[in-house]
Amino acid sequence: MIDKLDEHIYYIKKFKSKDIDEIESFKIRFLGRKGIINDLFSEFKNVPSDQKKEYGQKINELKNLTQNKYDELKLSNSKSDKSISEDLTKPGFPIPKGTLHPITLIKNQIIEIFSKVGFELSDGPEIEDDWHNFTALNLPKHHPARDMQDTFFIQQDPDVLLRTHTSSVQVRYLENNPPPLKILSPGRVYRNEAISSRSHCIFHQVEGIYVDENVSFADLKQMILYFTKSMFGKSNLRFRPSFFPFTEPSAEVDIYWGLETETDYRITKGTGWLEIMGCGMVDPHVLENCNIDSEKYTGYAFGLGIERIAMLIYQIPDIRLFFENDVRFLNQFK
């Protein structure tokens, strides 16, 4: 009887296979409910008592050996999974390269242009409070100018909202940093608008602000001229008087784009002129709201929409294309 056990032990030690079915049937044959090892256990009662001890030890050894053998074969077999083992020197499949989103490309260009003249980056939260988005910017509650920007409210009283412009970052920065300061804040903004080929509830802006002693409107004009020359290679500009609660005086800047393509017609509504940004001298109230001495310091600020600029540069006729994530569209920006 002991001899039979020795034979099995010998067999198990020698057993080799790379065939997963063979390995499984090896397991069933030995370790299965009606397998060899269970049979050997049930024969235990017939073993002469002077051999019982040795028999017991050997059968346990057999059982452990079999289990270990099975585990080992199974492991090395899964390692030699065919797809890997075929030829390890073969090159992998090429992974197609992604592209940067056109909004990111334009944003990066704008950042580069302004950082050359000393603007530093700063950002703020997209979920804002009433103070930073409105009140500190000279837009107290119930001020009619709040209607210029239809707002998504998350919570009322105290108001929590999705920021309607990146001007909120001005306030955050001014509150925490003494002048002189020169900051650029690109980011995503939200407005409750009907979606059309020209407007969308989510879009992107870049906000700029410069506060120091003796900053003048002439400095602002010069900076915008530098920007449009660098960005578009164009310098035919028009400053139209306008109104923003946080700047005084305020202006909107139009650039003469021309009427060369159908998209030019559509984007400029047939005039050749296009509004590219709002700007002005920071209202002294805004400085005071942020504890900055408005007798000593003045500043200018501007805000521009990234989508509009991207539409011009890439001749994109419909703003919705930016948000659909159609790879046929995105792949064109390699």
| Nearest approach, Cβ of residue 264 and ligand DAH (Å) | 23
Q: Quick one: which of 69, 107, 163, 165 contacts ligand DAH (CB under 6 A)?
A: 165
What type of residue sits at position 92?
G
Q: Decide: is 303 part of the binding site for ligand DAH (CB under 6 A).
A: yes
User: What is the per-residue burial (b if ≥16 Cβ within 10 Å, else e) of 270-298?
Assistant: eebbbbbbbbbbbbbebbebbebebeebb
Sketch the per residue contact string, 267 through 286, with ligand DAH: x for CB under 6 A, - otherwise: -----------xxx------
Q: Per CB under 6 A, which of residues 168..207 are in contact with ligand DAH?
A: 207
Among 185, 247, 289, 298, binds ligand DAH (CB under 6 A): 247
Burial zone of 314 (CB within 10 Å; 0-12 exposed, 13-18 middle, 19+ buried):
middle
Please identify which residue in 301, 309, 311, 319 interacts with ligand DAH, judged by CB under 6 A.
301
**Residue 77 vs 242, nearer CB to ligand DAH:** 242
What is the per-residue binding string for ligand DAH in 77-106, x denoting contact by CB under 6 A?
------------------------------
Which residues, other chains included, contact 264 with Cβ-Cβ below 8 Å and sequence gap of 6+?
A: 257, 258, 272, 315
Residue 70 CB neighbour total at 10 angstroms: 18
Nearer residue to ligand DAH within complex by CB, 102 or 245: 245
Distance CA 169, CA 286 (A): 12
| CA distance linking residue 325 with residue 18, whole number of Å | 47
The nearest distance, CB 292 to ligand DAH, in angstroms, is 16
Rg (CA), the chain: 37
Site string for ligand DAH, 30-69 (x = CB under 6 A): ----------------------------------------
Total binding residues toward ligand DAH, as defined by CB under 6 A: 11
DSSP letters of 193-204? ----SS--SEEE
CB of 92 to ligand DAH, least distance (A): 47
N-term to C-term CA, the chain: 77
A 10 A CB-CB count for 190 gives 21
- Tell me, what amino acid is at 40? L
Minimum CB separation from ligand DAH for residue 89, in Å? 58
Q: How far is the CB of 207 from ligand DAH (least distance, A)?
A: 5
- Contact window for ligand DAH (CB under 6 A) among 33-41, 54-62, 154-162, 299-307: 299-307
244 forms part of the interface with ligand DAH (CB under 6 A) = yes
Q: In one letter, which amino acid is 1?
A: M
- In angstroms, give the least distance from the CB of 247 to ligand DAH: 4
Contact 124, 187 (CB under 8 A): yes
> H or E element: which one contains 333?
none
HSE (side-chain half, CA atoms, 13 Å) at 238: 10
Name the residue nearer to ligand DAH (CB basis): 30 or 114.
Answer: 114
Output the smallest distance, CB 302 to ligand DAH, in A. 5
The answer to whether 123 and 135 are in contact (CB under 8 A) is no
Q: Which stretch binds ligand DAH (CB under 6 A): 18-26, 36-44, 286-294, 301-309?
A: 301-309
Residues that bind ligand DAH (CB under 6 A): 165, 167, 207, 244, 247, 278-280, 301-303
